[in-house]
């Protein structure tokens, strides 16, 4: 009983600490399961065009963006539009201001171009939390989901990731505590009856636990709230654990997840795992162009016998790494959401650093690759995304019902203490009134 009481306290405080975070992450998660569809629906002027014709090569469009605004460097872009009716979205990052040694302050990090004419159709920021407009609302929700839109300070832009990563660790551990607390207290067997143990374990115990899976709709509002909290948690426990664990692994991927994975299994490090990121105001300036890297990647892919062509290219200045993704039109999420095949190149000398092939490698490699597909539901395709969207609402419901349970019990305890003081009960400290 002592252990159960201790776990009850732990579950209570874990829930109070994480409730608000999980409520917001649950609601936003239910929405961003459909981020691409919602974004395109809200902003057709950015994603669609009526112009038809031969598209200008994306590398030329990237150079055009940098010519129009010398403060920016293009960091990622697809090499072709998804369909003839689609625009091309380019991601950009600020260059370093020679006068200050700091990054230029930009009001945008995405640029949308007409692929046929090169006309700029719009700019927006996916990192700014305010003001919220039709153009950035989906991006704001997406970033809020995993980082709370906490801005960069003290030279790092990962504070939000670390905060919600810590919340996810508490949530993951609390999944086991919460499950244990749904189990009924075992009755002590009667030593005078030899069959008492068997009866408790095989009949009485499971019969009493069955009620934990049900919601008694004819009971009081408090009891219905309690039953919802317990039953929803039980019926969806496996999915809740997967979402909690993958929230931790994705947010603390390089800080905790990969180091721990390396200690327990054979993990193949990526080029990013093998480098320490440069300071945000000291990015590594590439000495090769996108066109040169894409040409090398195309040649290497053919040499390896890859059937798909290069579909997108990017450069990460913090690590000095080019990446080229290979996929056919509309398949940029790859098989089961694990992403497309990629080749990595050094930004300074252009040497090949490695590759990524979805669902290949050691067991640890594939386990690491599965984290985002599991978290997003894309591992099961459209049904998985629907399920994850529903689970976002479940997480929000569990957060609210858990808080209500605590509040009702807290209010009841406070009432008993006040009544005890008013009746002159010496066993109740006067300070209880200030609780």
Whether 227 maps to a domain, the answer reads: yes
Whether 426 maps to a domain, the answer reads: no
CATH of the domain at 342: 3.10.450
Whether 376 maps to a domain, the answer reads: no
Whether 348 maps to a domain, the answer reads: yes
Out of 133, 157, 175, a domain closes at: 133
Q: Are residues 170 and 233 in the same domain?
A: yes
pLDDT band at 432 (very low <50, low <70, confident <90, very high): very low
Q: Are residues 176 and 246 in the same domain?
A: yes
The pLDDT score that the predictor gives to residue 433 is 34
Structural domains of the chain, count: 3
Q: Are residues 150 and 223 in the same domain?
A: yes
The pLDDT score that the predictor gives to residue 434 is 36
User: Which of 77-81, 347-351, 413-417 has the least mean pLDDT?
Assistant: 413-417
The pLDDT score that the predictor gives to residue 422 is 64
The pLDDT score that the predictor gives to residue 383 is 93
Report residue 378: phi and psi, to 5°. Answer: -65, -15
Whether 86 maps to a domain, the answer reads: yes
Residues 6+ apart with CB under 8 A from 401: 225, 226, 228, 229, 232
Strand partners for 314: 76, 323
**Nearest Cα to Cα of residue 82 among 118, 44, 115:** 115
Please write the tens of the pLDDT for every residue from 47-84.
998 878 889 999 999 999 999 999 999 999 999 988 88
Q: Are residues 38 and 86 in the same domain?
A: no
Q: Are residues 246 and 290 in the same domain?
A: no
**Nearest Cα to Cα of residue 240 among 22, 20, 406:** 22
What is the rounded average pLDDT for all residues in the chain?
A: 87
73 is in which domain, residue-wise? 47-133
Q: Are residues 116 and 57 in the same domain?
A: yes
Out of 133, 154, 169, a domain closes at: 133
Residues 6+ apart with CB under 8 A from 133: none
| Mean per-residue pLDDT, 245-258 | 92
The C-alpha atoms of residue 127 and residue 107 are separated, in whole angstroms, by 9
More confident residue, 415 or 368: 368
Question: Do 402 and 19 touch, CB atoms closer than 8 A?
Answer: yes
User: Which of 169-173, 267-271, 326-330, 377-381 has the least mean pLDDT?
Assistant: 326-330
Q: Are residues 125 and 29 in the same domain?
A: no
The C-alpha atoms of residue 201 and residue 204 are separated, in whole angstroms, by 6
Whether 313 maps to a domain, the answer reads: yes
pLDDT band at 431 (very low <50, low <70, confident <90, very high): very low
Q: Are residues 282 and 351 in the same domain?
A: yes
**Nearest Cα to Cα of residue 231 among 200, 209, 247:** 209
Q: Are residues 148 and 263 in the same domain?
A: yes
| Mean per-residue pLDDT, 194-220 | 72
Q: Are residues 150 and 255 in the same domain?
A: yes
Q: Are residues 262 and 140 in the same domain?
A: yes
The pLDDT score that the predictor gives to residue 320 is 96
Whether 181 maps to a domain, the answer reads: yes
Q: Are residues 39 and 70 in the same domain?
A: no
pLDDT band at 169 (very low <50, low <70, confident <90, very high): very high
Out of 360, 395, 416, a domain closes at: 360
Whether 208 maps to a domain, the answer reads: no
């Amino acid at each position: 009983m002592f252990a159960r009481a201790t776990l009850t306290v732990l579950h209570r405080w874990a829930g109070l600490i994480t409730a608000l975070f999980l409520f917001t992450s649950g609601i936003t998660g239910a929405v961003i399961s459909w981020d691409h569809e919602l974004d395109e629906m809200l902003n057709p002027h950015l994603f669609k065009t009526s112009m038809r014709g031969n598209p200008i090569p994306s590398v030329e469009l990237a150079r055009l963006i940098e010519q129009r605004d010398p403060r920016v460097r293009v960091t990622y872009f697809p090499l072709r539009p998804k369909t003839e009716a689609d625009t091309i979205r380019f991601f950009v990052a600020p260059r370093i201001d020679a006068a200050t040694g700091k990054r230029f302050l930009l009001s945008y990090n995405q640029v949308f171009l007409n692929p046929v004419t090169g006309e700029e159709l719009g700019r927006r920021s996916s990192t700014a939390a305010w003001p919220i407009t039709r153009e950035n609302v989906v991006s704001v929700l997406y970033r809020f989901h995993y980082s709370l839109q906490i801005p960069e300070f003290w030279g790092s832009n990962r504070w939000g990731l670390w905060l919600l990563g810590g919340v996810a660790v508490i949530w993951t551990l609390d999944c086991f505590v919460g499950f244990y607390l749904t189990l009924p207290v075992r009755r002590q067997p009667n030593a005078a009856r030899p069959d008492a143990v068997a009866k408790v374990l095989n009949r009485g115990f499971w019969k009493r636990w069955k009620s934990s899976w049900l919601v008694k709709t004819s009971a009081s509002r408090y009891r219905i709230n309690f039953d919802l909290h317990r039953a929803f948690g039980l019926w969806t426990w496996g999915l809740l654990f997967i979402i909690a664990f993958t929230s931790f692994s994705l947010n603390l991927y390089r800080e905790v997840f990969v180091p721990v994975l390396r200690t327990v299994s054979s993990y193949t490090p990526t080029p990013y795992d093998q480098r320490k990121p440069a300071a945000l105001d000291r990015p590594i300036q590439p000495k090769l162009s996108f066109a040169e890297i894409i040409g090398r990647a195309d040649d290497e892919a053919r040499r390896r016998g890859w059937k798909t062509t290069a579909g997108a290219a990017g450069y990460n200045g913090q690590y000095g790494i080019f990446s080229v993704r290979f996929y056919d039109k509309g398949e940029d999420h790859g098989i089961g959401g694990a992403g497309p095949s990629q080749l990595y190149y050094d930004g300074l000398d252009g040497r090949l650093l490695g590759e990524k092939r979805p669902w290949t490698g050691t067991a640890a490699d594939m386990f690491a690759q599965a984290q985002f597909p599991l978290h997003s539901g894309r591992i099961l395709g459209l049904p998985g995304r629907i399920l994850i969207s529903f689970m976002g609402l479940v997480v929000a419901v569990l957060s609210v019902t858990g808080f209500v349970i605590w509040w009702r019990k807290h209010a009841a305890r406070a009432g008993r203490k006040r009544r005890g003081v008013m009746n002159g009960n010496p066993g109740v400290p006067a300070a209880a009134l200030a609780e």
